[in-house]
Amino acid sequence: MVNDLTIIQHNLHLVATSSASGLGALGIDPKTLIIQLITFVLAYIVLRKWAFGPIVKILNRRREIIEDGVKLGEKMRHDEADLEQKIEKELHRTRAEADQIIGEASATAKQLIRDAETDAKKRADILIKEAQDKTELEVKRIRRRLENEMVNLVAQATSAVLDEKVDAKKDAGLIERALAGRKEF
């Protein structure tokens, strides 16, 4: 600051000693010019010391805030791109997992259908076998009943033809011969 004042004083002395022909010819008063220069320099020094520093600090802080905001924006764009990639990977993995589950469920369903068909076929075979067994039993029962009826009819016919009543022994012998003859056909 002292150097600045010394320089200003030296310049003022030069201006004051200059001839009226130089600056005076232009209509400029050297004393007024010197006072204005001193005022300007003092104002500059005061502003530099107390105003420019804080203003520059504020401007630097704003610049840093803006740079941080730009960096944060770039980081957010980068993070967004990373997040989109992660989401896409997770969706792909989830789709693959869902496809696998669907495939397994389909295979399980097919196996269950095959098992049900096999079980139904076994049950149908059992029912058919039971029906055949019942039919055979019923046929045998009906045959026995028919044989008994036929024996009675033969006994009645024989008794009518012979015109005599056959006792139980003769009746059994006649029935056996009649049945033996029928079985041969």
The pTM of the full predicted model, rounded to 2 decimals, is 0.39
Nearest to 18 by CA among 4, 7, 2, 34: 34
* Encoded tokens for 157: 């016919």
User: Which pLDDT value is given to residue 185?
Assistant: 43
**Nearest-angstrom CA–CA distance, 185 and 178:** 11
**Nearest-angstrom CA–CA distance, 30 and 11:** 11
Per-residue confidence in pLDDT tens, the chain, 185 aa: 556 667 766 666 555 555 445 666 677 888 888 999 999 999 999 888 888 888 888 999 999 999 999 999 999 999 999 999 999 999 999 999 999 999 999 999 999 999 999 999 999 999 999 999 999 999 999 988 888 888 777 777 776 666 555 566 776 776 777 777 655 44
134-152 pLDDT, tens digit per residue, is: 999 999 999 888 888 887 7
Nearest to 100 by CA among 108, 88, 111: 108
Q: Could you state, in order of their start, the residue ranges of all structural domains in the chain?
A: 142-184
Tell me if 43 sits within 8 A of 14, measured CB to CB. Answer: no
